[in-house]
Structure 1
Amino acid sequence: MKKYLLLLFLNSCIISFGQTKLIAKNGSVTFEASVPAFEEVKAKNDAVTFVLNTSNGEIASLALMKGFRFKVALMEEHFNENYVESDKFPKATFKGKIEGFDYSKITSTAKEYNIKGAIEMHGKSKEINIKAKISKKDNGVQLQSNFNLNSDDFDIEIPSIVSSKVSKKVAVNLDVVLK
């Protein structure tokens, strides 16, 4: 019995000390490619997965393209069929590293970090460098960022008939709490 309790105790210690990854399966990514004076081109995906390695600052995320929801169903259909071709390219991924990240120094006051990595979408990869605010919350670590992407970098064609209504410069906002 003592051996069993000792093994159980050692196993729980290994699990607690070995936990260096924080995960979220409900991160939020919003993008907007609206042009003033035209209908809003905006979508949100609340089921984006994020993983943060707290020991070295490596971060990765995965968004299923069909998870983006628009206010107008026809926009969503065009987005999936004509723009990002979701059946052919079902996901967008990001892999990168938070520069100067030290998990032990994360507090409830948001601190700005630089994140370098590569985003892959629509069969193309693009190196990006973004700013993010990171803070500790009661229920985990919050990461928030706003940055821009260009549809041309991912060979996403905007048909000429709507090119004046959809911006090639896409504003991206992400908000996630990792646990």
Structure 2
Amino acid sequence: MKKIILLPMLLASCIVLSQDKMITKSGTVTIEASVPSFQPVKGTNSNVTFVLNPKTGEIASLALMKGYEFEMALMEEHFNENYMETDKYPKAVFRGQIEGFDVNKLTEDYKDYIIKGKLELHGKSKDININAKITRTGTRISVFSDFSVNTNDFDIPIPALIKYKLDNKVNIQIIAVLK
């Protein structure tokens, strides 16, 4: 009898604990390293995982580098093989803390936050600060951000032959709706 009661109680506690974190596996990250007067260099990954602990404001994301899609297949090939070396460095990871985050103060109006954390990319790790807009609609929390990283900070090689076509400053746009 004790085993019969214990099993549902364990399952119920797992459900309650799992509700501590909000997640999406369909966040979108768009990267752009375009230079004026040349073809846009822009890729989008719509299968990025984001996890948020609404109690603490801790946030993390994982993007598989081969998940980026470009307008031209050749750009995608160069991105994976020559620049990001995705066979060697298959993912990008961000772990951070949303400063001053209080889930109870979120509304349907965007509120500005700073997210401080560490970006791991191309085998390198760098502390970064990100400006983000965060809103809550019902049980969903949306995070929007635009920021830039420098390819030199992550030892991402750009051949001299095409250096004039790519910007070292890569703009990154994030859209994540967590539930």
Please tell me the TM-score bracket, short chain as reference. over 0.9
Count of matched residue positions in the alignment of Structure 1 and Structure 2 = 178
- 2:110 corresponds to which residue? 110
Q: CA deviation at 1:162?
A: 0.4
Q: CA deviation at 1:16?
A: 3.6
Question: Using a 3 Å threshold, how does the CA distance of structure 1 residues 18 and 33 change in structure 2: closer, same or farther?
Answer: closer
Moved over 6 A (4+): 4-7
Structure 2 unaligned segments of length 5 or more: list them.
Answer: none
Q: Which amino acid aligns with 1:103?
A: V
- 1:53 corresponds to which residue? 53
Map 1:134-149 → 2, pairs under 5 A: 134-138=134-138, 140-149=140-149
Equivalent-residue separation in structure 2 for 1:86 and 1:7 (angstroms): 43
Return the TM-score normalized by structure 1.
Answer: 0.92
Map 1:149-164 → 2, pairs under 5 A: 149-164=149-164
- 1:75 corresponds to which residue? 75
Equivalent-residue separation in structure 1 for 2:27 and 2:108 (angstroms): 19
CA RMSD of aligned residues (A): 2.0
Structure 1 unaligned segments of length 5 or more: list them.
Answer: none
Question: Using a 3 Å threshold, how does the CA distance of structure 1 residues 12 and 169 change in structure 2: closer, same or farther?
Answer: same
Equivalent-residue separation in structure 2 for 1:125 and 1:43 (angstroms): 22
Q: Which amino acid aligns with 1:142?
A: S
Q: Deviations over 1:63-82 (max 9, x none)?
A: 00000000000000000000
Percent pairwise identity: 55
Query: Would the aligned equivalents of 1:26 and 1:176 in 2 still touch at CA under 8 Å?
Result: yes
Q: CA deviation at 1:18?
A: 6.1
Q: CA deviation at 1:47?
A: 0.2
